[in-house]
Amino acid sequence: MQSLVDGARAVVVGAAGGIGAAVVERLARDDRIGRVEAWARRPLEPAGKVRTDGVDVTDEASIEAAAARLEEGPLDLVLVTTGVLHDDAGLRPEKSWRQLDAGALARSYTINAIGPALVAKHLLPRLRRDHKAVFGALSARVGSIEDNRIGGWYAYRASKAALNQILRTLAIELARRRPAAVCVGLHPGTTDTALSAPFQANVPEGKLFTPAFVAERLLAVVDDLDASASGGLYAWDGARIPF
């Protein structure tokens, strides 16, 4: 992470997930990163420069408490890697409006949009003022309204579109307070994790990425971005995706 200060402090939310864990591991190997705060719902073991804390993005009190436990001093990088497409409680991507369900819509919004917004509420004030700092959250190409040509996946698409709008709005306010900061959505591509597992059979050859590859690429993307990119949605290859 050459664009951040030497000894930078990072927070990774969703550190027990496939992408989140890979991001933590990659940051821990970066000599320019001084501390990695790994937040996850289930307990993780601290190691080396990695500290851990229990955080559930659906519970604002847990986010606020973890933020209060952070050591004094500015943060340089915050990445929210949480997200839900399906779960064991019956949440599934809809193929038709006939499958729309209020509970499924609410759960998708709670995890995919509201959760990152609440993390931003409590951590954006901690971002470094005197140098580039980054707040990023995993979004998805399917959240692009302009790019939606095949329909379906109502809850996931709409919740990611909501996240994109939240990030854009956060970026506008953040620019007034920290002009060098970057606030962006990140599209990881189809990654070999539990989220994509039921749908991998339809992924073209060479387009199913390992978490380690995605972590490397997303960190490279945010390393390359400056404040002029804030408020946008960027893919793993650095391409800007329309809202």
Alpha-helical (H) ranges within 8-88 are 18-28, 60-69
Tell me the pLDDT band of 208, cut-offs 50, 70 and 90: confident
Average pLDDT, integer, range 15-38: 97
* Euclidean distance between CA atoms 53 and 37, whole angstroms: 8
What pLDDT is recorded for position 192?
A: 81
Between residues 198 and 34, the one the model is more confident about:
34
Nearest alpha carbon to residue 116 among 84, 157, 68, 145: 84
Report residue 141 as tokens: 């190409």
What pLDDT is recorded for position 198?
A: 67
What pLDDT is recorded for position 88?
A: 79
Superfamily of domain 8-241: NAD(P)-binding Rossmann-like Domain (3.40.50.720)
What pLDDT is recorded for position 171?
A: 98
What pLDDT is recorded for position 202?
A: 67
Nearest alpha carbon to residue 159 among 83, 89, 100, 223: 83
Contact 58, 111 (CB under 8 A): yes
- pLDDT tens-digit readout, 126-159: 999 999 999 999 999 999 999 998 999 999 999 9
Contact 195, 83 (CB under 8 A): yes
Collapsing DSSP states into helix, strand and coil, what is residue 38? strand
